[in-house]
Amino acid sequence: MPINRRVLGTALFAIAAPLLTTAAPVARRVTVLSATDRIAVQPLIDDFQHRYPDYRVDYRESGTVELYEHFLAEGSKGADVLWSSAMDLQMKLVNDGHAMRHESPHAPNLPRWAVWKQEAYGTTYEPVGIAYSRQHLAPNEVPRTHAALAALLRSDTQRFHGRVATYDIERSGIGFLIAAHDAMVTPQSWEVVHALGACQAGLYPDTQGMLEALAAGRSLLAYNVLGTYAEAFARRKPEVGVLYLSDYTLVMSRVAFVARNAPNPQGARLWLDHLLSPEGQRLLAEAGGLFSVRTDSARSRSAFAVGQQLGAAARPIALGPALLAHLDRSKHAALLKRWHKEFDHARR
């Protein structure tokens, strides 16, 4: 008996139909390029995927400069969200048209300096301070201002010789950004650079290296460390103290934006909103050790609480075109030249 193909096809479809309708939908991917350690963000990722089971986060971690260069090398394709502590590089990408406008419902609960044209958002509140060895510096020796820090280092360069740590501003984008803003806040910041050079300070590419040098006893003091990392480190290492200088304290923020050519713009918006939400900020603060930027949170690890501690000394680095100033080649070179002049001249 010949086979009726139409009947057979109908029968096979009838058998397969229940399987097709009950199969789990393929998860949509949200690709996040980030310079934040994954271990600090994993609880946020888990919570996002629990709330939005149709999405999976492809979290790609790298250094700030590598993130910037990779994004441009890929022709700005493939990434849904960019999230980096290199505020200046992030703003350059936004200024060059790589960001998609997104009116987050959480914007009203952020500081005005943390929102730029509904395109870029500051997601954390991270003061910059000093870390020091409690075993080698008496409480009355710990400097409270930049002028006091310079005076302390100059008072006994032999004692501090090779035992002070700070950023290598040529290798660290964050270090350069902090140095540039130090110089903008006050010309007296060069006195600190001069004193660091006189002590032949060790130069590091990141805060973690400075903190490890402190814990190992190789350094007595570290200048311009990120408070979020330093405070978390000090909780594990009580011999390390952290302090924010009272004349002024720079405050940085990790900047996020939705890529203009995002393959999954809907998922990207959901991720950014979750990052800024009360629950997302709580997870970043409690699990990741990153201070919440929201103005409606009074938790101990929030902008409000840290702002109360810093008072008028707080100097948040605002999102905007001013961040692009030192990315100009001539200005970038001029600041490096001045920094080396002060640092290297003092070493002679």
Could you report the per-residue pLDDT of 166-187, keeping only the tens digit for each? Answer: 999 988 888 999 999 999 998 8
DSSP bridge partners of 146? none
Burial per residue of 77-89, b for 16 or more beta-carbon CB atoms within 10 angstroms, e otherwise: ebbbbbbbbbbbb
Q: How far apart are CA 160 and CA 176, in angstroms?
A: 23
- Is residue 165 within 8 A of residue 282, CB to CB? The reply is no
**Domains of the chain, start order:** 28-122+254-298 (3.40.190.10), 126-251+327-347 (3.40.190.10)
- Is residue 287 within 8 A of residue 43, CB to CB? The reply is yes
Could you report the per-residue pLDDT of 18-69, keeping only the tens digit for each? Answer: 444 444 344 699 999 998 889 889 999 999 999 999 999 999 998 888 899 9
| Nearest by Cα to 302 from 345, 339, 251, 348 | 251
Query: Residue 280: pLDDT above 70?
Result: yes
What is the per-residue pLDDT for 118? 95
pTM: 0.85
Could you report the per-residue pLDDT of 145-161, keeping only the tens digit for each? Answer: 999 999 999 999 999 99
Going through 47-102 in order, the beta strands assigned E by DSSP cover 55-61, 81-84, 99-100
